[in-house]
Amino acid sequence: MTDQQYWERHARKYDVSLRVLGKPLPRMLELTREAVSGCNKVLEVAAGTGLVTTVLAQSASSVVATDYAASMVAMLDDLVQKENLRNVTCLQADLYALDFEPGSFDAVVAANVLHLVPDFPKAVAALRRMLKAGGRLVVPTFCHDETKLSWIVSRALAVTGFPGKRRFTSRSLVSSLEQAGLRIGKSELLPGLIPICYVEGSF
């Protein structure tokens, strides 16, 4: 099964998994809302079923929310219609092949996806291309190796076929982003069954 097939099949179960892993999410959403407040154009990558999208819609003038799994985009679009989020456009798009004019967005948000990407430097470079000069990259990311418990949970997930590509700690995530050229403006570790390291910065 390819990674995309995994997410196509698991779209309906995605929100259930987020409830299990959800302790860090309220603070993550709060920080993300603050990060994009007042932005004109925001791009969201790996939007999933729309957890972060609704927050972005409240804070930015316009949001383009994307995911590469068609089933995720269908659920995302249903949510956008239900919530009447008129400033949100939903599109199916591959992170590595974003078909937008480079430098089009004031902020790019890629929540809980960097541990899933096969090629980390290429992924960050693709996100960077979408940003205006001085634009903000927001990349909260699950850190599977942050604690002993998260280490155990991560290995259990792997047995189920979860397509993780790397197990970050907060320190290794920040270091990897800095090596990719990101100037870190804010980082915060958010405790949970699998902690999230919230990171934002610019290039």
pTM above 0.75, yes or no: yes
Cβ atoms within 10 A of the Cβ of 151, count?
15
Q: What is the chain's pLDDT, residue by residue, as a tens digit (203 residues)?
A: 687 777 677 667 666 666 677 799 999 999 999 999 999 999 999 999 999 999 999 999 999 999 999 999 999 999 999 999 999 999 999 999 999 999 999 999 999 999 999 999 999 999 999 999 999 999 999 999 999 999 999 999 889 888 899 999 999 999 999 999 999 999 999 999 999 999 999 99
- Quote the strand ranges of the chain, DSSP E: 41-45, 62-67, 88-92, 105-110, 131-138, 141-142, 183-190, 196-202
What is 141-199 written as a DSSP string?
EE-TTSSHHHHHHHHHHHHTT--------HHHHHHHHHHTT-EEEEEEEE-SSS-EEEE
pLDDT at position 11: 61
pLDDT at position 15: 64
pLDDT at position 161: 87
